[in-house]
Amino acid sequence: MTANSVAMRDAFGEALLALATDHPEMVVLDADVATSSRTAPFGKAYPDRFFNMGVAEANMADVAAGLATCGLRPIASTFAIFLDLKATDQIRNIICYNNLPVILAGNYAGLSDSYDGASHQSILDLAVMRAMPNMVVIVPGDAVEMRQALELALRRDGPTYIRLCRNPTPVLFAGAEPLQLGKIRKLREGDDLTIAVCGVPTFMAIEAASRLAARGVSVDLLEVSTIKPIDVEALAASARKTRKVLTVEEHTIYGGLGSAVAETLARRAPALMRMIGIQDTFAESGDWAGLMRKHGISAGHIEAEAMALAAAESA
């Protein structure tokens, strides 16, 4: 981890305060985890615009939907696992079916609620949210993109899911071109293989690409911050060039980035693929960095998988 590391949840809390004046229609709802999700400072500064719904995630989704019908822009925040499972019915039938401008902030996503174990680790939220009609799904790569995602979501007329991590991670995009919904950010130009990454593992993929370059392997490195809608043209163009694609995500390999890329390329530019992510398993309690390494989400594992893919026969 670098000295310039910021937790997305901290950036989220700061962004709520920073955006409050420019967006008086913004209200925040939390499911009794305001200290953890960092919505508490907003609640203290704007008590009339903050609603602690208690441990009642389904009710929180319904109330957020109701507030949206009144012209407000609700941000419903809690741990990602509880949004994508405990409030699934309400998100589908009330928020998405009516295409309401509700922002769902899924905190502690992936393995980042590491010590609470499998019951709290959200490794299938992207699969759930991708399947929701009208839902836009954003997976920021750092704290900078997290704030940009929130600003963009506040200007949308439909529902948006933003995935947040608990742990400090390197700031990658300060001073870079801002995040655009539905657009891939190309981080490196290469011809030997494509690496498509989303979220926290972005900094690991950047490190792996540098190592691969030193070994003579040229990587087309794509940061896919918007999982839905996905940037079909950029993905297809890269796959046609390299014919080999490796996806990297802090999520099960079923239904997340790897699946979205495979679905896209099957229609546009079939390529030889490998997927790095959590296999068909639950994780366990433990140190976050150790769990990430155990499940193959590390710069070293990305490098090894990319070398194997580069040496394989093209599709």
Within-domain flag for 175 = no
Same domain, 193 and 261: yes
Tell whether 114 and 15 lie within a shared domain: yes
Q: Tell whether 239 and 296 lie within a shared domain.
A: yes
Measuring CA to CA, which residue among 89, 58, 95, 98 is closest to residue 74? 95
Number of domains in the chain: 2
Q: Are residues 247 and 114 in the same domain?
A: no
17-29 pLDDT, tens digit per residue, is: 999 999 999 999 9
* First-to-last C-alpha distance (Å) of the chain: 36
CA distances (Å), origin 277, targets 1, 54, 216, 254, 281: 20, 33, 25, 9, 11
Which pLDDT band, with edges at 50, 70 and 90, does 2 fall under?
A: low
Taking CA atoms, 6 is separated from 144, 166, 233, 244, 263, in Å, by: 9, 10, 32, 33, 33
101 token code pair? 């401008």
Cα separation of 270 and 263, whole Å?
9
Per residue in 61-108, pLDDT (tens digit) is 999 999 999 999 999 999 999 999 999 999 999 999 999 999 999 999
Residues 142 and 252 occupy one common structural domain? no
* pLDDT score for 314: 60
Boundary of a domain, candidates 135, 170, 205: 170
Is residue 179 in a domain? no
Q: Check whether residue 229 and residue 159 sit in a common domain.
A: no
* The pair of three-digit structure tokens given for residue 277, joined into one six-digit string: 């992510």
The CATH number of the domain holding residue 255 is 3.40.50.920
Q: Is residue 177 part of a domain?
A: no
Residue 252 has pLDDT above 90, yes or no: yes
Residue count (the chain): 315
Last residue of a domain, one of 116, 147, 170: 170
Cis before 229? omega within 30: yes
Beta strands 193-197; 5-7: pairing state:
unpaired
Instruction: For residue 24, give the CATH number of its domain.
Output: 3.40.50.970
Q: Is 180 within a domain?
A: no
- Domain of residue 256: give its range: 185-311
Q: What is the pLDDT of residues 98-154, one digit of tens each?
A: 999 999 999 999 999 999 999 999 999 999 999 999 999 999 999 999 999 999 999
Inside any domain, residue 138: yes
Residues 142 and 221 in one domain: no
Q: What are the residues whose beta carbons fall under 8 Å from the beta carbon of 12, sequence distance 6 or more?
A: 37, 38, 39, 77, 105, 107, 146, 147, 150, 164
Asked if 106 and 221 sit in the same domain, the reply is no
pLDDT of residue 121: 94
Q: Which residues contact 129 (CB under 8 A, 6 or more apart)?
A: 84, 104, 106, 135, 137, 161, 228
Write out the two tokens for 259. 């699946």
Verify that 11 and 110 share a domain, yes or no: yes
Residue 265 domain-assigned (yes or no)? yes
- Does residue 228 sit in the same domain as residue 154? no
For residue 83, is it within any domain? yes
Question: Does residue 262 surpass a pLDDT of 90?
Answer: yes
> Could you tell me if residue 87 is inside a domain?
yes
Check whether residue 22 and residue 131 sit in a common domain: yes
On whether both 164 and 191 belong to a single domain, the answer is no
Domain boundary among 170, 193, 213: 170
